[in-house]
Amino acid sequence: MKLFSASQIREIDQATIENEPISSIDLVERAASTCSDWIIEAYDHSVSFHVFCGMGNNGADGLAIARHLALAGYSVQVFAIAHRSSGTSNFTRNIERLAEVKLDVHYVNAKKEMPEVDETAVAIDAILGIGLDKPLRGILKDVVQAIQEGYDHVISIDVPTGLPSDLDSTIKLSECVEATHTLTFQFPKLSFMVAGLGEYTGDVHVMDIGLDEEKIHDIDTPYHLTTGYDVVGIRQDRKAFSHKGDYGHALIAAGHKGMLGAAVLATKACLRSGAGLVTTHIPSMGCDVLQISAPEAMVQLDHSETSITSIPIPKRITAVGIGPGLGREKSSFNALTALLEDVQVPLLIDADALHLMSITDSWSKLPANSVLTPHAGEFHTMTGVEFGDSISRLEAARRWAKDHHCIVLLKGAYSAICDSSGNVYFNGSGHPAMAAGGSGDVLSGLITGLLAQGIAPLKAAILGAWLHGRAGEEVAIDRGEHAVVASDLIDYLS
C-alpha cells in the first residue's frame, strides 16, 4: 500500500472530484457516512457524543458525522472551535444541514466554554486534519488540553488534532489529541508509522472513501505499508516433484558462551522458513544444545569451545546469516572479516556482527545487497549519531541504505525496510507482545532462510518482517501479550 504526503493526498482528492466526478461537499458526505457506519457498529446508544469541529474541511466531516449520528438516534452535541474568522464552504454548508435537522452548534471561543463531561460521553475530534504545519496555540491548544483532561474515549477523524500527517521533524508537538481510535481516510498517514507520533493514534481504522484509483497508481512515493495482500506471491508454492535441494541451504553463524540460545532461535526460525537445508556454525560447546533443540539442522563446530573464530562456508550454501549471540571478541571480528571477503551469496548481518563492524568501521567491506537488521540502539552504534527523534533516525537509515547499497531493516513498531533506491517499506504486522529478548534472533533466522530459497534480498526482508509480525499477532491472541517469549513465534510462522 502506498503512503502519501499531505500535498499528494490533496492531489488525489482533487483528481477524485474532477474525474469521478463528485462535488467536494458530496465527497465530505461520503467520508462522513463511512465513519458514521463504523461508529454506529462500535458504540451502542448508551453513549453520548460530543463532536468537536474545526472550521475547515475536517470540521465539515465532523458536522456531517454529527448529523448522521443524530439521525441514527444518538445523543449528540456539536461544538465548533472558533479558531478562524470564517469556515470553508463545506463547513458552512454542513452547518446549514445541521439546522435542517434541528441540531444546534455551540461555538467555543475559550476553554471555559467546553462542555461538562460525564462517564457516557465520547469525544469525536474533527478539529484539524492533514493540513497542520505548525504547533497548536491559542484556543486550539486549550481545546485539545480540555479533551485530553476530560474524555476517556476519543475518536479522531483522519488525524488526531495536533499531529502532523507528514514526516517533518521541524514540527514540534505542543499539545495533541491522544485518540482511542483514529478513522483515517483511504491510507494511514506517514506520521502514524514512527515512534513519538504514532502513539497518539490509538487503533487505526482505514476508511475507504473511494478516492481516484488511477491517480493513486500514478503518483510516485518512496513510502509504502506492507499488508498481507502485498506479500502474496513473494514465496511460490512448492512443486510436487521437488526435493530439499530445491529450497536452498542456509548457513547460520551464531552463538557464544552464555548466548547459545540466540543460535538455537535463529536456527529453528530458519528451518521454519522453508529452507531445504540449514547448517549452523557454533562454538563447539554448543553441539549438544543445538542438536537436541533443532535436530533437523546440521551443525558445523568451531575450533573454539566458547566463541566463533572462523567460519568455513560449506559447498552449495545459498545464503548466510551472521550475528545473533555472536559475542564481541577479537577472534569473532576476524572470523566476520574473513567471511565478508569470501561470501558469494546473499548475506544477513545482525546483532553483535553489526556492533563489530561498527566499532571497526568495516562497512567498506560490506557486500552489495546485504540485509542489515539493527534495532534503534544498534543503528546508533552503526552511525555514531544520537538521534533526537524517530524521523531523523528513519531518514538516516534511508541514506545509509543508499550509500552502502544494502537493505536496512530498522526494527521497531512498523519496522522500516529501506532499500538502496531510497524507498521505505513499513511493516504492517506485529504486536507489542514481541518486545522480548530473542525476537530479533528469530527474525534473522527467518530472513536468512528466505534468502537461501532464492528470494531477492528486499523481498525477503519484506516477507520475513511481515511473517514475523503476523506470528506475533497470532501468538499474542493465544498466550496473552504479557506471556509471549521469542521461541513462541517460531511455531506460528506460516
Binding site members for AMP: 411-415, 440
Q: In what order do the strands lie in the sheet with 371-372?
A: 223-226, 424-427, 416-418, 407-410, 371-372, 347-349, 319-322, 249-253, 277-282, 298-301
SS3 420: coil
- Residues with Cβ < 8 Å from 236, sequence gap 6 or more? none
Cα-based torsion angle of the residue sequence 304, 306, 308, 310 in order, rounded to the nearest 10 degrees: 0
Written as nine digits, the cell of 237 is 508454492
Q: Kindly give the interhelix angle for 376-383 and 390-404, rounded to the nearest 10 degrees.
A: 60
Cell 468537536 -> residue: 52
Cell 472558533 -> residue: 82
The CB-side HSE value for 145 (13 A sphere, CA atoms) comes to 11
Written as nine digits, the cell of 247 is 529450497
Residue numbers in the known binding site for K(+) are 58, 125, 161
| Alpha-carbon distances of 393 from 96, 169, 195, 411, 426, rounded to whole Å | 47, 10, 10, 11, 14
Residue 454, judged by CB atoms within 10 A of its CB (0-12, 13-18, 19+), counts as: middle
394 close to 424: Cβ distance less than 8 angstroms: yes
Concatenate the DSSP letters of all residues of 82-104 into one string.
--SSS--HHHHHHHHHHHHTT--
Query: What count of other Cβ atoms lies within 10 Å of the Cβ of residue 109?
Result: 12
CA-based nearest residue to 161, from 152, 149, 145, 153: 145
Whether the bond between 21 and the residue before it is cis, its omega within 30 degrees of 0, is yes
Residue numbers in the known binding site are 57-61, 125, 129-135, 158, 161, 262, 325, 375, 411-415, 440-441
SS3 253: strand
Residue numbers in the known binding site for (6S)-NADPHX are 57-61, 129-135, 158, 262, 325, 375, 441
